[in-house]
Structure 1
Amino acid sequence: MPHDVDVTLPSYPTLTSLPATDHPDLVAAPVAAALAAWPGAAEVAVVDIDPDLADTAAMSEAYDIPMTAGGNCVVVSGARAGDERIAACVVRADTRADVNTLVRKLLDVRKCSFLPMDRAVEETGMEYGGITPLGLPTGWRILVHDALLDEPVVVLGSGVRRSKLLVPGRLLADLPGAEVVAGLGR
């Protein structure tokens, strides 16, 4: 979207929305690179938050944001015939990813588990508690809970704990590599 076109940034009254593409200093480096390359980024805001309130429930309470507007990103993995399969699952914060049934079947693995924290942090280049579907390693699947698409504004991690991204829910289907999955969150 050209810079001369006015775009209303997603917002919440308790937070100050800034254009995410203009503030790469507020997000992790891989997130900044992904935003710079993604056409939908013109409609994405970044907001500064207290890093001690980065966990979804604490942030929702402190900033008066409904849990249905939160998008939690968890990274899972499994293997089949020695081939590791990794996926980032983005689910509405009032649900949990259906890892043991739905995600396991989507990845076509016998067993699916959460990627160890140290490995997730190292491979994403993001802080634990700030991992987001933007800027993930090439080859990782991105599974998006269909219920998030109906939210006017979804609050996602920014790759760091001191800020969050505000994204119109409909744009989550347009994230590079995103697969919208019905019932991903239960």
Structure 2
Amino acid sequence: MSEQQAEQAVRAPFGNFPRVRRAVDAAAELAPPVAALLAGWDAGLARQVLYVDTDPELADTAVFCAAYDVPAEASANCVVVAAKRGGETTLAAGLVLATTRLDVNKAVRGHLGARKVSFAPMDTAVGESGMEYGGITPVGLPAPWPLLVDAAVAAAPYVLVGSGRRRGKLILPGAVAAALPGARVLEGLAG
């Protein structure tokens, strides 16, 4: 089977995208930490992650969903937070459906045992993750970061997340998102 035939055999479970490939076959389009994780991760899980080529000007969730005919409930946001306790700051990420909001003040703070949790400054989130603003994804986050996954994301048949860059998105089963390194599935993470 040629590369073009293999691409044609891969279909997105939702949306209207000009090109769909397995993310492991699109390493050049991914942020380096994303490509590295997929290359070194369990092959059975990594092959379930799809890459869809999209316009970077349409990366914001609401605009993206309208442009590519993606149901908002199939889209998930990866939010980087800074948790402070005893003078130390720890970075973590929360993954929630785009139709909800990450409960930073109660659920995240309580789970991380932090005195204070806030959204990480953009420069910190981008610099520490190695990903572009507007494209930060749970796939390929730094190893020490906890990844808090809302139970609704883990239960979803598929979710759409960033690719590490503003251009392109990843689609993966919720169960695969829950199996990412550092992932902890939590009830009530989103409000």
One fold, TM greater than 0.5?
Answer: yes
Q: Which runs of 5+ in 1 are unaligned?
A: 1-6
Matched, 1:19 2:22: yes
Q: Secondary structure at the match of 1:84?
A: strand
For 1:159-170, list aligned pairs within 5 A: 159-170=164-175
Instruction: Give me the whole-angstrom Cα distance separating, in 2, the residues matched to 1:10 and 1:172.
Output: 16
Q: What TM-score comes out, normalization by structure 2 length? A: 0.90
Residue in structure 1 matching 2:66, options 43, 54, 61: 61
- Asked if structure 1 preserves the Cα contact closer than 8 Å seen for 2:10 and 2:22, the reply is no
Partner of 1:48: 53
- Asked if structure 2 preserves the Cα contact closer than 8 Å seen for 1:10 and 1:44, the reply is no
Residue 10 of structure 1 deviates from its aligned partner by 4.3
Residue 11 of structure 1 deviates from its aligned partner by 3.2
Matched, 1:29 2:32: yes
Moved over 2 A (4+): 7-13
Residue 77 of structure 1 deviates from its aligned partner by 1.0
Cα deviation code 1:119-148 (max 9, x no counterpart): 111111100010011111121110001101
Instruction: Give me the whole-angstrom Cα distance separating, in 1, the residues matched to 2:92 and 2:50.
Output: 25
Q: Give the direction of change, closer, same or farther, for the CA distance of 1:118–1:61 in structure 2 (3 Å limit).
A: same
- Asked if structure 2 preserves the Cα contact closer than 8 Å seen for 1:19 and 1:46, the reply is yes
- Asked if structure 2 preserves the Cα contact closer than 8 Å seen for 1:10 and 1:168, the reply is no
For 1:1-186, list aligned pairs within 5 A: 10-15=12-17, 16-39=19-42, 40-186=45-191
Q: Secondary structure at the match of 2:47?
A: helix
Residue 82 of structure 1 deviates from its aligned partner by 2.2
Partner of 1:4: none
Q: What TM-score comes out, normalization by structure 1 length? A: 0.92
Q: Which runs of 5+ in 2 are unaligned?
A: 1-8
Q: CA-atom RMSD, angstroms? A: 1.4
Number of aligned positions between the proteins: 180
Instruction: Give me the whole-angstrom Cα distance separating, in 2, the residues matched to 1:90 and 1:126.
Output: 16
One-letter amino acid matched to 1:149: A
Instruction: Give me the whole-angstrom Cα distance separating, in 2, the residues matched to 1:51 and 1:13.
Output: 16
Among all aligned residue pairs of Structure 1 and Structure 2, give the percentage whose two residues are the same amino acid.
50
One-letter amino acid matched to 2:59: A
